[in-house]
Structures are given as C-alpha cells and as structure tokens.
Structure 1
C-alpha cells in the first residue's frame, strides 16, 4: 500500500473512531417546537442518524437544566458535547459534520445566509407563535385538532366549547392581547410576501442548494401551516392545517409549495412512534 493510500486509510479510521466514541446523536425536543423542527430538517438533510428524546414540559425541563444549564429545546448531545440553541446547534453540525454544508464559504453568501437565519428566528419564529395562539382562540376546529389523537371525545368537546373570550384572556396573561396578535399577523404576511418574491426565480433563498436560511424559514413557519405527510407525530387532522387568514390564502401558496418540496426532497418521514408517555403536541410558550 502506498504512503498516500495509508494516509487516506488512517484518516478514515480516525473518523470512524471518533464516531464510535460519540455514539448516536441525541436531540432533546418537543415534537411541536418549530425551533426543534429547524434542526430536524438539518439533520435529515445531512443524512445524520439521531435519537429523539421527548422532554416533558415542567419536570422534564428541570432535567434539561441539569444537562445544558438552561430549559429550552432544542438541545443536542454528541458524545460528551452538549449544545443548546438552534443556531449554535446548526453551526456545530456544519463544523463537525461538513458533508452537505449548510453555511456557504463565500463571505457575501455566508453573511446573507446568517443574516436571513437570524431574521427567521427573530421575526418568523416569534410571530408564528403569536399567530398560533391567536388562531387557537378564534378557530374551534383548529383548537381541537391540536389535541392528541387519543384525547377522549368529551374532553375535545369541552375544549372546543371554551368561549373565545377566555382564550383572549389567556393571551393577555402572557402579554398577547388582540393588538399584539394583529401585529404578528401583519408582520407574518409581510415576511411571507417577501419570501414569495425571493423564491420567484430561484430554487433556494441564498444559493443553488439548501442552506441554513432555507431550513430556518421552513421549520419556523410550521406553526403558520403544519406540513402534510408523516413528518411529525401530530394528529392527522392537524396536518396541512394552519392559521386562518394566512395558511388559507392563495397569495402565499407559492411559498408553501416551495416548503412542501423542500420537505419531500430532504425531510425523512417518521418510521416509528415515540416512547409511551411522551407528549408530542406540547408547545412551550415563554
């Protein structure tokens, strides 16, 4: 064997040794967290195998605090490495698993990608949560669709019959009165309009292949309209459903068609159900 071949062999052995020591990636998650969904998209795009660990809201987050020093998901465990925050996880994955890079090397494109991802986190992500809360208060069928599929009928009927005024009161309790929700709707419509224009004559937001910007935008619009297909462990009645006045408008169909194609091309469908006792439809609202 030549010296060059030996070096290549040694490099492959070294990589395999590192992977063996790390074991399978573990993603601490809420099934219905849109920030977690951003990371699941990236993991699937890179072809990385990982184990989902569902965090129970409340007590489970105390355990998460001991592991990561904070209580928010997502958190990624890679051997002895613990990484919190979706942006930090994305950057870690691109550095440690460089196949199919999601952050461009070209300085201008890199800056545009990172800027767009931050915009998605701070505008789309936050406003999508507000829009979802508002829609839960206004749309009875949407409200009951969010409930797990094994919810007893009497409880579904009870939740569906709760007056909208009571949900509005809940919204005020977390700082989301009617004006805040209206502003979130308007901001979301502006963001989706901008995305439709950007994607009018190009396949992806920054380059000719998907980047962190694409996966951030796709994942963080989950609350506005849930993806169809067997990608999430959510009730069937919730798939393809979304925020009234946004998800059902033909104006934004080009964007959601683009997102559906991104899912079809890169997101892996679920092959098994989560462990018993998991709460797949929990939503963390700060």
Structure 2
C-alpha cells in the first residue's frame, strides 16, 4: 500500500483512548491527515459500510482501509519510519509490541468500561464530550437520543456494578505496571520513547487527564468526574502518564472537520 500523495482520513471518536493512540502516532511523525469524527451510536451504519467493523479508529488511504489502532500504527510505522516508534533491536521491539498488546487487550477495555460507568450517569456532559464539534441541530438531536444510546452503550460495554468494580482494579493494575516497569530513563522498552510508552500512556489517559487538548476532560466538570480523576491522581503511574504526554505528545492539534453524523 502506498501512502505517497494520498490523503489520509482518520475516522474516529473525539474522546477515545484507542483513537488517541493513532492521533498520537500521526502527530508524532508529523503526518498530515484529516480527522472525521463520528457520534457513538449513530456511527454504526457508516463505519460498518466503510470497514466492516463497529468500532473506530479506522484509517482510509485512498481506496485502502485499515481498522484497529495496533494495525494502523503498524502501517504508519512501515510508511513513515522517522521518528521511529518500533525499536531497532529485535528483543526490545518484541517487548514493546507485547506491552502494546497487554494494554490494548487487558487494560484499555477496563478503562473504557469504568469511565463510561461514570459518564453514563452524566448525560449532558457525555453529550458535550462526544458531540461538541457538531452543528447545533445534531447536538440537540444527539442529546434527545441519549436515553436509548446510553442503554446500547451499557449493553455493548457490559457495564454493571460488578464489571465496573473489576475494571477499576484492572486500571490500578495498569498504573502499577507502568510505575514498576519504567526503566531508568522512564521508558517501558529500552532507553527511549516507543510504541510501548505511547500505547500505555494513551490507553491510561482517561484516568489521568493529561494536559493535552485531545484527551483533557472539558471544563467545567461534574463532581462525579472530578471524583473519578481524584481516585487515580496520587498514583505514581498517573505521574508517569502525564510525564510521557509532556515529553512526547505533540501539542499540535489538527482542526477537526465533522463530516460524519
């Protein structure tokens, strides 16, 4: 697949840690791209038509479509080698990709489940987070659809009191992992920033509220969300996430063009 001269389109949810992984990789490599933001719930038909899946991120390059953050980053790394996200050393590369897989499969679903366990109780704030860049009519319509959408989200994410409690323990395990495994230079796979650090920091970001426009919770925040953030605020893993963002997440944020409903 050639990316030369092709326009890259990232189909995303604005506030999503899996999508943040891809945004970070593209921005880290200064790759020009267009972001197309979908509304969770109404996104289903368009996204399935595009990629045959029900979740974002999806990267379209010309007539080629790639779904899933790990596969997208693999494609980006293959076509834009500098600066590298994969270590040159084979053992370190294997370790970095294993860290990404661990956070993709074990930690990120727990972060999403536990966070939305809180956000679904704040429908107005949830709507503001997910639809803020849409036209007024779309925002109002989405707000009116919230009761039905929240039921679907609760079912799809398997959110209940027990699952959320288990998810919270997994988040703490993820924070424990980065605090314990970061090496002398502060990185998880070798002595420099790699996909391991990007994945862990991006996927833990909703618990750590890093000061970056793409993932920072909008103000004013409901008391429930402040309590959520306070739960993790003093963990050394939270300090690690915020440090990685400060050192390696470019502050350049591309304008979002909301061309999808």
TM-score, normalised to structure 1, is 0.71
Distance in 1 of aligned mates of 2:114 and 2:25:
25
In structure 2, the residue matched to 1:267 is: 249
Structure 1 unaligned spans of 5+: 1-16, 280-286
Distance in 1 of aligned mates of 2:199 and 2:156:
29
Number of equivalences? 244
Please tell me whether the aligned partners of residues 19 and 57 of structure 2 are also in contact (alpha carbons under 8 angstroms). yes
SS at match of 2:4: helix
Instruction: Please give the residue correspondences for 1:1-286 in structure 2 after superposition, counting only pairs within 5 Å.
Output: 19-20=4-5, 22=6, 24-136=7-119, 145-148=125-128, 171=154, 175-199=158-182, 201-232=184-215, 235-238=218-221, 244=227, 247-252=230-235, 254-269=236-251, 274-275=256-257
Distance in 1 of aligned mates of 2:247 and 2:45:
36
Cα distance, 1:71–1:272 mapped onto 2, change above 3 Å: same
Return the offset for 1:251.
4.1
Return the offset for 1:81.
2.3
Structure 2 unaligned spans of 5+: none
Distance in 2 of aligned mates of 1:92 and 1:172:
32
SS at match of 2:197: helix
Please tell me whether the aligned partners of residues 34 and 256 of structure 2 are also in contact (alpha carbons under 8 angstroms). no
RMSD across aligned positions (CA): 3.5
